[in-house]
Structure 1
Amino acid sequence: MCFYGQALKMCRIFASCALVALLLAVVWADHHHHHNSKHSHEGEMACHIVSPHNADFAFALYKHLNAKAAAGKNIFYSPLGISTALSMLSAGARGDTHTQLFSSLGYSTLNQTQVNEAYGHAMQMLNNSQENQQLEVGNSVVVRTGFNPLPAFLNDMKQHFTGEVFNVDFQNPSEAKKQLNQHIATKTHDKIKDLVKDFDPQMVMMLINWVYFRGQWERPFNHNLTAKRDFHVDENTKVEVDMMRKTGRFDYYRDRANFVTVVLLPYKSNTSMMIVLPDEGKMKEVEALLNKDHIRNWHDSLYKNNINLSMPKFSISAEASLDEILMEMGITDAFGDRADFSGMSDEVKLKVSKVSHQAVLSVDETGTEAAAATTIEIIPMSLPEAVVMNRPFMTFILEHSTKSFIFMGKISNPTAQ
């Protein structure tokens, strides 16, 4: 699936942002190969060419992140952001380095022109303003003063990835770090303030992607119904959370064979949050089967049902260094002396030194401005299904026009910062 608007003032119900920084440092490589691709026109929905591959990459990445996560730790990241940043990197890669990037991203049947065009189309759609939603996706290419990347690479960044290019004096590390963190904080509305902590003094270029989302629930929770309740992190640990409650008709599916309950919570836009709640003690079994096909099947199986929903109010942040994980996923040459980024520079040989990612997520009752309205909901005369999210659950933020996973993760402890 592949899922991505703008404008909302005052109150928020969900705010989240993420970004990926790719740091490139000078290195001596052994060889250069040029990857040629034929230009092809992919039509109006070009972004859908990469969406199923991005979904596969998202779940492969989840399994690696989950394998390294400590027990009870939250996982949250932007598959869209990471795929975009790596696709920017691939535009300057050649030979085996390019092959490994495309293989890990799932793009082996595509060429770079198709991928560039897909992201060019996605950027336009994702940044298309919507009345009740704020979604901003963008990229920057930060170049060391005095270093001159190939014009063709910079043109690809500007044309297809809406990349803004600017210079930074990396020889003044403290000032450079301050400038970069201020840039990232501005783009993420001060949600991510300190991602760049240090960098290789030889660094000549940084690729940055950011994703910022802010949306209103289609049907807000009532503040007056929120109350303190226990959330069971595991069988031995419980924490107290503010539990929001709402009764109504929701898109719902109970997959008994795979031990999950699925609820879809729409925003006032073309995005929605899918909640996947494993049965008690069944998180590992659900994680083992997690892939885009199961998500699609659950999404297609949803039906309107009378639900008494209890959901924690929370704000979390997750940060990860992706170097080791990406190497485990097959992107190895990019980090070593065999790296071939001759599509970025024909004067200086380059490699990747660091890949960093940070994402934050806040969920509360309402996303409405001051207003008054009266609604009367008529429901069947039957006892509602009770869905109580008082144990670890998985969440997916889906954007429907581009069929993208903007964000995904596992909430193990809503009180952890």
Structure 2
Amino acid sequence: MKPFTFLCLVLVGLYAVANCHHISGKHKDEKELLEHSGAYDIINQGCPTRGSSYADFTFSFYKQAMLQEPNKNIFFSPISISTAFAMLAVGAKSTTLNQIFVGMGFNLTEVQVEDIHEGFHHLLYMLNKPDNEIEISLGNALFTDRGFKPLEKFLNDIKGFYEAEFLSSNFHNPSEAKKQINDYVEKKTHGKIQNFLGSLDPSTVMVLVNYIYFKASWENPFAPIQTSEEDFFVDVKTPIKVNMMRQEGEYESYYDKQLFCEVVQIPYHGTAEAILILPDNGKMKQVENALVKETVCKWRKSLKTRRINLHLPRVSVTGSYDIQQLFEKMGITEVFSSNADLSGINGAHGLQVTKAVHKALLKVHENGTEAAAATAIIISKVHQPSVTIKFNRPFIMLIVDKTSAITLFMGKIVNPIEN
């Protein structure tokens, strides 16, 4: 029987709303670079219908996570997951390669594989550029066993396209290797994700790591003095006490009369925004079933400015996923089997992915007293009649980079304090 050696993918994400320092920003020059590169159509998740259906990868993954745990919190970073597997695809061939990219929504009869890699390269460049009051870092690392020699072309390509760091590790000592990887992840997520990797098989020869760290401040922070304890209904019969933030102001919003949900857009300083979707009681499943790119585009086009008395809970949740279980339901199977063709990594067959895990952490709060004080002057317009929108029951959240329209994070908050 042919011996197999193992690969492991580790994908981590952290999202936090907090005070940030001013950094020189990126503006339309990077967007123009992306658009004119020819890669924009491939990775663009905006409302124009050009390009691939890569945008729907986010919703496909969400729906599989939802089916796995229907009444639980969901939180993940689609850009972290897709970047890690796109990086792995540099070494994939034949059906293994096709399944990875088709499963992520790319049409390989219309798009060249190299153009997909180029699209991710430009996206990494854009997201890692400093932005006004947003701290974001998206990166990749390759840990290889000291006796394992990847092909020079593979190393050059993942360095060129994905700017991966290369680190040598001793997988014959799993506890030592695990500590090295966990320390790396902890450092890259600013200490927020610790002891992430639980175990390593001694037969492992390579670990691919993708991480994303995102920290931003609300454009109009909530005043902590307005936060009070309120009920949040996990379901219609189960209230829990949460710290509910409150603020009255002008927000872009839309009520979808067909799907029975309220959509509110909350901007951050810089080039990111949160899109919150609050289904009416009993309508969550209907909204989830309708989650595709076209639905979100309709919501975006329908947003109108309204004065809203907004109630939003503080949130502290985590999401942990076995990617293999979810991907196999999305048609990505071969890379996890003994039939995997990852010969582009080392020039030989006998490699397969035995573990692919993802963890993401979400923290949402008022944004601190300093930021709240700085925006007190803004709340001085003539008052108009306001509508109250209380996020006091399960809701869906998208964190979007406005420049690329890429969804950085997506989640469903069923219990804001279940960490």
- TM-score, normalised on structure 1? 0.88
Contact 2:224 2:368 in 1 (8 A): no
Paired residue total: 382
Contact 2:18 2:215 in 1 (8 A): no
1:268 matches 2:269: yes
Contact 2:96 2:340 in 1 (8 A): yes
Q: Secondary structure in 1 aligned to 2:111?
A: coil
- CA drift of 1:347 comes to 3.8
Q: Which residue matches 1:388?
A: 390
Q: Which residue matches 2:310?
A: 309
- CA drift of 1:377 comes to 3.5
Q: Which residue matches 2:78?
A: 79
Q: Which residue matches 2:138?
A: 137
- CA drift of 1:11 comes to 3.6
Q: Which residue matches 2:260?
A: 259
Q: Which residue matches 1:167?
A: 168
| Aligned 1:253-402 pairs, distance under 5 A | 253-347=254-348, 349-366=350-367, 369=370, 372=374, 374-379=376-381, 382-402=384-404
Q: What are the superposed Cα offsets for residues 293-318 of structure 1, whole Å, 9 maximum, x if unpaired?
A: 11111012111111010000121111
Contact 2:254 2:302 in 1 (8 A): yes
Q: Which residue matches 1:206?
A: 207
Q: Which residue matches 1:196?
A: 197
- What is the alpha-carbon distance in structure 2 between the residues aligned to residue 368 and residue 380 of structure 1? 24
Contact 2:231 2:239 in 1 (8 A): yes
Identify which range, 137-146 or 194-203, moves more after superposition.
194-203
1:123 matches 2:124: yes
For residues 392 and 319 of structure 1, do their structure 2 counterparts lie closer, same or farther at Cα, with a shift above 3 Å needed?
same
Contact 2:18 2:217 in 1 (8 A): no
Q: Secondary structure in 1 aligned to 2:200?
A: coil
- What is the alpha-carbon distance in structure 1 between the residues aligned to residue 238 and residue 267 of structure 2? 31
1:107 matches 2:106: yes
For residues 161 and 192 of structure 1, do their structure 2 counterparts lie closer, same or farther at Cα, with a shift above 3 Å needed?
same
For residues 186 and 75 of structure 1, do their structure 2 counterparts lie closer, same or farther at Cα, with a shift above 3 Å needed?
same
Q: Which residue matches 1:97?
A: 96
- What is the alpha-carbon distance in structure 1 between the residues aligned to residue 210 and residue 41 of structure 2? 20
- What is the alpha-carbon distance in structure 1 between the residues aligned to residue 36 and residue 207 of structure 2? 31
- CA drift of 1:415 comes to 1.5
- What is the alpha-carbon distance in structure 2 between the residues aligned to residue 136 and residue 324 of structure 1? 27
Q: Which residue matches 1:46?
A: 39
- CA drift of 1:369 comes to 4.5
Q: Which residue matches 2:30?
A: none
Q: Secondary structure in 1 aligned to 2:367?
A: coil
Q: What are the superposed Cα offsets for residues 83-109 of structure 1, whole Å, 9 maximum, x if unpaired?
A: 101101111100111111111011123
Contact 1:94 1:343 in 2 (8 A): yes
Q: Which residue matches 2:65?
A: 65
1:227 matches 2:228: yes
Q: Which residue matches 1:56?
A: 56
- CA drift of 1:129 comes to 0.5
Q: Secondary structure in 1 aligned to 2:345?
A: coil
Q: Secondary structure in 2 aligned to 1:165?
A: strand
- CA drift of 1:256 comes to 1.4
Alignment RMSD: 2.1
Q: Secondary structure in 2 aligned to 1:257?
A: coil
Contact 2:220 2:375 in 1 (8 A): no
- What is the alpha-carbon distance in structure 2 between the residues aligned to residue 112 and residue 376 of structure 1? 48
Which structure 1 residue ranges, 5 or more long, are not aligned?
A: 1-7, 14-40
Which structure 2 residue ranges, 5 or more long, are not aligned?
A: 1-15, 22-33, 46-52
Contact 2:338 2:352 in 1 (8 A): yes
- What is the alpha-carbon distance in structure 2 between the residues aligned to residue 264 and residue 381 of structure 1? 20
Contact 1:230 1:390 in 2 (8 A): yes
- CA drift of 1:382 comes to 4.0
Contact 1:45 1:121 in 2 (8 A): no
- TM-score, normalised on structure 2? 0.87
